[in-house]
Amino acid sequence: MKKLLLTLFALSVFHFASAQCGALVALTVTNTTSNSAVISWTSMGTETQWEILIEPADGLAPSPGASGIVTSVNPFTVTGLDCNVAYELYVKSLCTQTQNSGWAGPYNFSLSCLPQGGIPNDLAQCSDSNQACFDLSQNDSAIIGTLNPADYTFSYYASQADAASNTNPIGNIQNYCITAPASGVTPIFVRLAENAGGSVQISNFSLVVRRVVTGTALQPFLQCDEDGNGQITFDLTSVAAQLNTSNSLTYHLSSVDASNGDGVNAIPNPQAYTVSAVNSQTYSVFVREHDTGDCDVIYPLSISTLNNCN
């Protein structure tokens, strides 16, 4: 009688353990790209760890020593796959070090090779503040490239995560307004999807908000030390004639100062800028044209001295 009770107890324990390590059903592959896929399954037990095996389809069950990817995540994203290859998916539960559910599967799938779309271009706007509005649709033709527009759908997103999950697409792409970060650069992501196969390509470009651009170098100044006192005085404001502008101008000794703001470390008396002429030298000056309706422009200017006028 005692032996019978022990046997029944052992069988009940085995049955309980088996129930906790139930079979897997409803293997599914979704959100495929040309090299990745999201796989998921439904467990009939309470285990929290599984092993995933993906191999080229051959119609044969996994060998006894086959090993795959161990994970505690469901769904699970698999990367590094090849497109136009037939695969078989198997998943099993890992309940203890010695007990598993056995392989569930196969689930057969393949990934479409998405032809490469075009490369979107960065879009730039000038602004006196950090705010600007962009027409993202200017990149429509660049994104499609040589693909047939009837076979593909694309949308714009503010984050790579949204593009990957196909959530929160940007609504008004013809008038997308942003407040740029300190760098002036805001990334935009594009999801290009094949209508028939569902393969996805994600690309990105930048929205650039800037206050200044670099203009062409101005005609250089050259002057000799006529009175031999070792100094030469230049009237930097005469460059306004070259620029033919009524906008205000400031003059700086470095491009950094010229770029950093309105009048930062500007030369205080540009009408009489005096430099040493003890030796023949060349100095750099950066002229910033302040344009309230457009980008300010920074023009490089070289001024050279000659200590001998002969």
CATH number, residue 164: 2.60.40
Task: Decide which of 109, 136, 170 is a domain's last residue.
Answer: 109
Q: Between the CA of residue 156 and those of 33, 144, 160, 278, what are the distances in Å? A: 17, 13, 10, 61
CA distances from 272 to 235, 257, 267 (A): 5, 20, 10
Domain contains 260: yes
Domain final residue pick, 109, 135, 153 = 109
- Same structural domain, 225 and 247: yes
Nearest alpha-carbon partner for 154 in 112, 113, 188, 109 = 188
In a domain, 118, yes or no: no
Helix (H) or strand (E) holding 111: none
Sign of dihedral through CA atoms 127, 132, 133, 135?
A: positive
Domain count, the chain: 3
> Full-prediction pTM beyond 0.75?
no
| Residue 35: predicted pLDDT | 86
Residue 9, helix vs strand vs coil: helix
Burial class, 139, CB count within 10 angstroms (exposed 0-12 / middle 13-18 / buried 19+): buried
CA distance linking residue 220 with residue 282, whole number of Å: 10
pLDDT of residue 1: 40
H or E element that contains 196: none
Q: For 236-261, write each residue's pLDDT tens digit.
A: 999 999 998 888 999 999 988 988 76
Asked whether residue 300 is domain-assigned, the answer is: yes
- Asked, for residue 282, whether it belongs to a domain, the answer is yes
Residue 7 has pLDDT above 50, yes or no: no
Look at residue 116 and tell me if it is in a domain. Answer: no
Task: Verify that 127 and 175 share a domain, yes or no.
Answer: yes
Q: Which of 69, 86, 109 is the last residue of a domain?
A: 109
Residues 235 and 204 in one domain: no
Co-location of 104 and 129 in the same domain: no
Maximum mean pLDDT: which of 61-65, 116-120, 301-305: 301-305
State whether 72 and 149 are in the same domain. Answer: no
Domain that holds residue 26: 2-109
pLDDT (tens digit per residue) in 81-124: 998 899 999 999 999 888 888 899 999 999 877 667 889 999 99
CA distance 102 to 90: 9
